[in-house]
Amino acid sequence: MTDDPAAAVDAAARLPRYFQIKIALTERIAEAAPGTSLPPERQLAAELRTSRTTLRKALAELTAEGVLRSTQGSGNYVAPPRLVHVRQLTSLTHDLGAEGLTLTSRLLSADRLRADADLAIHLDVPSGRRVHRLTRLRIVNDEPMAIETAHLPGRLPGLAERVVANGSLYATLREDYGIEIGTVEDSVETALATPTEANLLQIPSGAPLLMVRRQARDAAGDVVEWTKSAYRGDRFRFVSRSS
């Protein structure tokens, strides 16, 4: 890295024009409170001395990254900071509750199904074994944030009703069934929201998602959960910690 101001200015000038505008917008946004409205595009383009086409490319990237929120017919707003979910032995309920946020859930479906070959591998059960499936919409401060589909083996009578009453799957397993999570293995990848996911999460179809797959085991090493979750990519970041 150089300490020469002239060299730094020259390096910045070689950046693509839209990226220069993106940097300027990022600096402006850093000084604004969440929910602050940016000036109209015409005014903003004039202030930054750029075309509206270039400006829109920069705005689109900042929106995809979760820095801005774009509302059709209303404008662009500074987005709130991303929520942090520590992917360890904790649940979303625990992590967000620790941040003072209100997490609620809406049960979308609850049933039992016969495990196909793939699900049987993840749950370590024979193919065809009946397992529980719960799909919930996770809502933070009245804003939909994630869709979680949990698969669980074993006899768990009244599971759906108890999870709804308790609000937390892990707390329900521990308090109602005596099942304590011992170890977890998570995998995270990116995906684009399907129309169904977009409708539930109130985001545009094709918006970025973080897809998290978790296999949890109890202290004896038996699989107790295989969950697939779709988190809004513009509102979440994950932190992994080891003790």
Range among 68-72, 84-88, 146-150, 183-187 rated most confident: 146-150
How far, in Å, CA of 153 to CA of 32, rounded? 48
Q: Residues with Cβ < 8 Å from 14, sequence gap 6 or more? A: none
What's the rounded mean pLDDT across residues 67-79? 81
**Contact predicate 203/231, CB 8 Å:** no
Q: Which of 56-65, 209-218, 234-243 has the highest mean pLDDT?
A: 209-218
pLDDT at 241: 55
- Of the pLDDT bands very low, low, confident and very high (cuts 50, 70, 90), residue 3 is low
The pTM for the full model equals: 0.67
pLDDT band of 2, cuts 50, 70, 90 = very low
Alpha carbon distance 216, 223 (integer Å): 6
What is the chain's mean pLDDT, rounded?
85
Provide mean pLDDT across the span 19-37.
87
Mark 3-41 as b/e (b = at least 16 C-beta within 10 Å): eeeeeeeeeeeeeeebebbbebbeebbeeeeeeeebeee
Percent of the chain's residues with pLDDT above 90: 48
Among 61-70, 108-117, 226-235, whose mean pLDDT is lowest? Answer: 61-70
Least confident residue range of 94-103, 125-134, 187-196: 94-103
Q: Is the pLDDT score of 24 beyond 60?
A: yes
- Distance from C-alpha of 230 to C-alpha of 213, rounded to nearest angstrom: 9
pLDDT tens per residue, range 197-211: 999 999 888 888 989
pLDDT classification of 70: cutoffs 50, 70, 90: confident
Q: Report how far residue 200's alpha carbon sits from residue 148's, in angstroms, rounded to the nearest whole number.
A: 12
